Structure 1
Amino acid sequence: MVKVAASGTYDAGEGSRLPAGEVHAWEPGQNQTACGVPLRRAGLGRFPHVDFSDTDPVTGGSADAVRWVCPKCVAATTPRRQRTGRRWERTDPRP
């Protein structure tokens, strides 16, 4: 249930607004992003109707005007297994 906080707003027509500019992960009920940036002081707008996974420029979705996705927020919201790809394994143990 991770939503989006962004530095700008993009009007997609039909009265819908989408995140633009700098994008961070945000959980409703919190007043800071997943990486610790305070929403009010940074001037970030909340988008409770947009999932954070939809703001990836590669996948499309709500990412038409997204310029930068916070790498710390991506790391905080991605499960550890998906980040590493495979588990660490010692290939040549010492005696």
Structure 2
Amino acid sequence: MRAAVAATGSWTDPDGFRTPAGEVHAWLPGTNQTLCGIPIKKARLGRFSHVDWADVQPATGRDADQVTSVCHRCAAGMGKRRDEKPWTRHDPRP
């Protein structure tokens, strides 16, 4: 599933592109609400259809410079699991 971004704020990067800032939510273009159910118009969220959800993740995203928080409900809806471990066991004990 390819989701775009809706955010509480925006800023212009040095290249002149409008990018999200503040709290970000996953948004499916063509719908009027975020993945977690917040209505975009009533919450006054800005739509960023040119920015993918993966690009605003603070750990790896290229458009995450001004992102302060990521909606945990939207992240769960996009496939992030609460019990994901950042490590793997290579040589388990018997």
Q: TM-score band, normalised by the shorter chain?
A: 0.7 to 0.9
Number of aligned positions between the proteins? 84
In structure 2, the residue corresponding to 1:13 is in which secondary structure? coil
| 1:23-81 deviation digits (Å, cap 9, x = unpaired) | 000000000000000000001000000001111111131000000100000000116xx
Give the equivalent residue in structure 1 for 2:87. Answer: none
* Equivalent residues of 2:54, 2:61 under 8 A apart: no
Give the equivalent residue in structure 2 for 1:3. Answer: 4
Give the equivalent residue in structure 1 for 2:18. Answer: 17
Residue segments in structure 1 that go unaligned for 5+ positions in a row: 86-95
Structure-1-length-normalised TM-score: 0.81
1:68 aligns with 2:69: yes
The code of the aligned residue for 2:26 comes to: A
Give the equivalent residue in structure 1 for 2:43. Answer: 42
Q: CA deviation at 1:10?
A: 1.3
Give the equivalent residue in structure 2 for 1:88. Answer: none
* Equivalent residues of 2:22, 2:69 under 8 A apart: yes
In structure 2, the residue corresponding to 1:39 is in which secondary structure? coil
Distance verdict in 2 for CA 1:53–1:60, change over 3 Å = closer
Q: Distance in 1 between matches of 2:8 and 2:82?
A: 26
Residue segments in structure 2 that go unaligned for 5+ positions in a row: 85-94
When structure 1 is superposed on structure 2, of 13-22 and 26-35 the one drifting more is: 13-22
State the structure with more CA Rg.
1
